[in-house]
Amino acid sequence: GFLGSYHCKAIAAFGGTPIALDLNLDNASLLKKEIQNEYSVELICYEADITSKDNLKEIANNISKKLQIRGLVNNAARNPIVDNTGLKNNSRFENFPIETWQLDLDVGLTGAFLCTQVFGSIMNDNDGGSIVNISSDLGIIAPKQSLYFQKGKPREEQSVKPVSYSVIKSGLIGLTRYTATYWPEKIRCNCLCPGGILNNQSQDFLSKVNAEIPLGRLANPGEYAGALIYLLSASSSYLNGSIISIDGGRTSW
């Protein structure tokens, strides 16, 4: 994924071995080359269905034969993209399909639960580690749907940020607090709530969303790297159960 690739690069840049799990490895070879060339670190990739505990256990056992697992980043999500033509989602609340709701929750929330269950248990049985859940500023505040409105469309046809996204990102905050107090002797768990990231959005959207952010802009893709490494590393050894919002100040208003 887009942000997940930058997480891998950050871990490699600071001396760790990044291991990426994804349902689709089409872009893995290019990312592996980038990380190898830039940091002389091998990116390990597994094709994985994170909604399958058996699949995760098989991968975890494979990893444990080669490396000690010391960190977990729960980053997976089905997130509709905002590009230069607008938000790619037309499922308004009134007609949001139960099938889409279930699939979104399976990946974004159940997947994080299962990864925490499998990899967290391994870390707890060994020397411990750190878990970072990637939520969103929209796990703290509601989406402002007018940001996605397009001129000339009636309200009932306007795209919206789906309800499942807010529910999942709020749920990850709850999972963070639960995990932080479940294995406190060995494992810390914290939550990072990023704001939007600059990625080919339309100028119309940017002008609207920038007005909602005190810094007046979206994040650049690499601006979360320092926070992620801080949360994964011993530098944050007394930080546990914290919800850290990095959103240019948006949730301060």
Three-state SS for 180? helix
Question: How distant is the alpha carbon of residue 44 from its chain centre?
Answer: 19
Q: State the pairing for strand pair 82-83/129-134.
A: unpaired
Mean pLDDT, the chain, rounded, equals 94
Three-state SS for 42? coil
Of 53, 34, 54, the closest CA to residue 45 belongs to: 34
Q: Across residues 119-139, what is the average pLDDT?
A: 98
Q: Could you tell me the CA-to-CA distances from 136 to 28, 178, 203, 234 in Å, in that order?
A: 25, 18, 22, 24
- With residue 73 as reference, give the H or E element that holds it: strand 71-74
Contact indicator for 149, 158 with CB cutoff of 8 Å: yes
pLDDT at 78: 87
Query: What are the tens digits of pLDDT across the range 200-248?
Result: 899 999 999 999 999 999 999 999 999 999 999 999 999 999 999 999 9
Q: Which residues contact 154 (CB under 8 A, 6 or more apart)?
A: none
- Residue 225 to residue 196: CA distance in whole angstroms: 15
Of 160, 164, 156, the closest CA to residue 146 belongs to: 160
User: Residue 219's CB: how many other CB atoms inside 10 A?
Assistant: 19
Query: What are the tens digits of pLDDT across the range 188-207?
Result: 999 999 999 999 899 999 99
What is the reported pTM? Answer: 0.94
Query: What are the tens digits of pLDDT across the range 21-77?
Result: 999 898 899 999 999 999 999 999 999 999 999 999 999 999 999 999 999 999 999
CA atoms within 13 A on the CB side of 240: 16
Q: Return the ∠ at Cα 35 (arms to 111 and 65), rounded to 5°.
A: 55
User: Residue 173's CB: how many other CB atoms inside 10 A?
Assistant: 17
Query: And the tokens for 30?
Result: 């290019």
